[in-house]
Amino acid sequence: MLASAAVLEFTLHHGFNCSVDRFWVLFFDPQWTRELILEGLGFATCDIDPVVEADGKKRRSMRVTPKLDIPASIAKLLGPKLGYTENGRFDLATSEWSYEIVLSVLADRIRMGGRVRVDPDGPERCTRHSTLFCEVKIFGVGGLVEKAAEKNMRDGWEKAAVWMRSWLTTEAAAK
């Protein structure tokens, strides 16, 4: 049974010691992204398709198996092998990344994704603005799933920002 649900949406802001251009170069580098996902976030798997550029957009898909921190009741609902595919597009005209996440389970009842833009914030500095959303249509437990999803999204994006800052510092020190 489906229940109507409001879309949970929130925005996170993270500053980095690199230019906007450098940020996007790293973002689209599959080796760097794989290192971020596997080492920085501790995910079990990360398979990245090549970036395809057409019609003023760069498109990329990747499949991952995340490390989740969720209550036992939600883990039982989602099963032991939750993974997802991220399908994203970078609009070359607006410099905005937008993406949808398709879960390996309950994809018809859980919708997630977001938008990312990066603004300059001084010389060799930028700020990433990430607007994320989650909508769960599961009667009785939708709110619990949304809260767990929000916690994991917030924690994951923060952990990724910490890892990226460390990587950028290490890279700068090596030069």
What pLDDT is recorded for position 80?
Answer: 66
Residues 6+ apart with CB under 8 A from 67: 41, 42, 43, 44
Query: How far out from the chain centre does Cα 67 lie?
Result: 13
3 within a domain of the structure (yes/no): no
CA dihedral 11, 65, 104, 29 (to 10 degrees): 60
The pLDDT mean for the chain works out to 92
Task: Render pLDDT for 92-128 as a digit per residue (tens, 0 to 9).
Answer: 999 999 999 999 998 999 999 999 999 999 989 999 9
The model's pTM: 0.90
Q: Which domain holds residue 34?
A: 8-174
2 within a domain of the structure (yes/no): no
Residue 4 clears pLDDT 50, i.e. is over it: no
Task: Look at the alpha carbons of 162, 126, 8, 65 in this order and tell me if their dihedral is positive or negative.
Answer: negative
Domain count, the chain: 1
39 within a domain of the structure (yes/no): yes
- Which CATH number does the domain housing residue 115 bear? 3.30.530.20
Q: What is the mean pLDDT of residues 80-89?
A: 90
